[in-house]
Amino acid sequence: MVEDLGDPVCQALLRNRMDSILYETYERNIRRSVAHKLHRSRDDDPDVDECVQETFKNAYQNLKSRSDDELSNLAHYSGIIKWLHGIERNVVRDFWWSNSRRVLINRGEPGGDDVMAT
């Protein structure tokens, strides 16, 4: 018996499965790309982990807001990978932006405290 994909329960299961497949399939690719953009020699850097996590969090939120027609447009590999790299590019840009605004200021006093100015 073929399940009706129009059934809300089937759609919910399909979306949940899509989330796990998305991560399992593309995590390594996104991780390498993030490490390259952050100029990290190792892809297990905490900043890389943070950006990868944020990328997939944003992707999952975006998936939930898309209609079934929009999801079907992402169904092929090149559509998914371009979409994920677009999200990843924005996450890395935001990461660079937020970290470039922090400046370490030394008060210049012996034994003085260093403070982070934003």
The pLDDT value recorded for residue 29 is 93
The C-alpha atoms of residue 93 and residue 37 are separated, in whole angstroms, by 9
Asked if 15 contacts 63 with a C-beta cutoff of 8 angstroms, the reply is yes
Phi-psi region of 111 (alpha: psi -120 to 50; beta: other; left: phi over 0): left
CATH topology of domain 8-117: Rna Polymerase Sigma Factor; Chain: A (1.10.1740)
The pLDDT value recorded for residue 3 is 44
Segment 13-59, tens digit of pLDDT: 556 666 677 888 889 999 999 999 998 888 788 999 999 999 999 98
User: The pTM is what?
Assistant: 0.67
Asked if 105 contacts 117 with a C-beta cutoff of 8 angstroms, the reply is yes
- Of the pLDDT bands very low, low, confident and very high (cuts 50, 70, 90), residue 110 is low
Q: Residue ranges per domain, the chain?
A: 8-117
Residues 6+ apart with CB under 8 A from 40: 47, 48
The C-alpha atoms of residue 112 and residue 67 are separated, in whole angstroms, by 56
- Mean predicted confidence (pLDDT) in 90-104: 80
- Mean predicted confidence (pLDDT) in 83-107: 79
